Structure 1
Amino acid sequence: MKFYSKVRVRFLDLVIFGVAAALVVGTSLLVLNRQSGTRYVQMTGETGEWIAPLNKDAEYQIPGPLGITYVHIHDGTAAVVDSPCKNKLCILAGAISEPNQWVACLPNKVFVRITSSGTNDSGGVDAGAF
């Protein structure tokens, strides 16, 4: 008993395969191009907003209602390294480096986010919202 048959590839099959491959490549290029550009760290606190390049090492003190939250930028990453909040979830979140990643210290009202000059960033829904 034979369980296989001859597979005939027709012209329309090749066209569909070519269109699907072109869509995959085009979408990949759009996504990669969208994430290129200079990356910045946007830090928001009770008294204002600070923007710093992600490629320059620095230490920032962001004031909040509970005290000072310390943000450390090093080797292309940004992290909250100390905060006066009780549970320290913002510190446990670790370092961020990709556009639209963020860390927040909610009790101290401090928000740290990565943005990119190459992004058409409208603040919309992304995969992290699900």
Structure 2
Amino acid sequence: MKVFGWRRRLTPFDRKLTAILAICVFISFLLPLRQGIGARVLVERDGKVIYTADLDHDQQVELQGPLGVTVLQIEDHAARVISSPCPQKICIGLGKAKHSGDLLACVPNRLVIRIEGDEEKERGYDLLSR
């Protein structure tokens, strides 16, 4: 049986390294699936929390920013921006945020909407350390 040239040059170390890298790639796809469902939504403007609400209660909230009013809709244990005065409306296109750690941001209106779970409050993790 003829062995291709590149297979003859693979050492046992190369095979182990390839297997380890394949396992790491596989695990990296599984990690986002472990996010829990969020318990509350926090809205920040210029780094200060201006509004907090549980995701259990359906409601619409008008949030004032430098450009005008951004409307946040909370329903079905998820939050989404349904109206904003920003020019490109990227925050509306981001869709729903429902998992703990999800973010919605309206940069021109200086609003950051963050979903937080119960376990995050107890552990004190922030976005960079999780």
SS in 1 for 2:92: helix
* Corresponding residue number in structure 2 for 1:25: none
Kindly state the Cα deviation for residue 51 of structure 1 after the two structures are TM-superposed: 0.6
Q: Could you report, residue by residue, the CA deviation over 1:33-67 in whole angstroms, capped at 9, with x for unpaired residues? A: x837x600001236851110011101111100000
1:122 equivalent to 2:87? Answer no
Does the 8 Å contact 1:97/1:114 carry over to 2?
yes
* Corresponding residue number in structure 2 for 1:40: 40
Task: Give the superposed CA RMSD.
Answer: 2.8
Q: Could you report, residue by residue, the CA deviation over 1:2-37 in whole angstroms, capped at 9, with x for unpaired residues? A: xxxxxxxxxxxxxxxxxxxxxxxxxx9xx96x837x
Give structure 1 regions of 4+ aligned residues with deviation exceeding 6 angstroms: none
Q: Normalising by structure 1, report the TM-score.
A: 0.65
Identity across matched positions, percent: 27
What amino acid sits opposite 1:49 in the alignment?
I
What amino acid sits opposite 1:80 in the alignment?
V
Q: Show the 5 A alignment for 1:1-130.
A: 35=36, 39-45=39-45, 49-119=50-120, 120-125=123-128
Kindly state the Cα deviation for residue 125 of structure 1 after the two structures are TM-superposed: 2.6
Q: Could you report, residue by residue, the CA deviation over 1:73-127 in whole angstroms, capped at 9, with x for unpaired residues? A: 0011100000000000000000000001010000000110100122224214378
Cα distance in 2 between the residues matched to 1:121 and 1:93: 26
Cα distance in 1 between the residues matched to 2:126 and 2:103: 12
What amino acid sits opposite 2:78 in the alignment?
T
Cα distance in 1 between the residues matched to 2:89 and 2:112: 14
SS in 2 for 1:84: coil
SS in 2 for 1:118: helix
For structure 1, the residue ranges without an aligned partner over 5 or more in a row are: 1-27
Matched length: 97
Structure 1 residues 35, 48: CA separation in 2 closer, same or farther (over 3 Å shift)? closer
Kindly state the Cα deviation for residue 69 of structure 1 after the two structures are TM-superposed: 0.5
Does the 8 Å contact 1:57/1:73 carry over to 2?
yes
* Corresponding residue number in structure 1 for 2:22: none
Q: Normalising by structure 2, report the TM-score.
A: 0.65
Does the 8 Å contact 2:73/2:81 carry over to 1?
yes
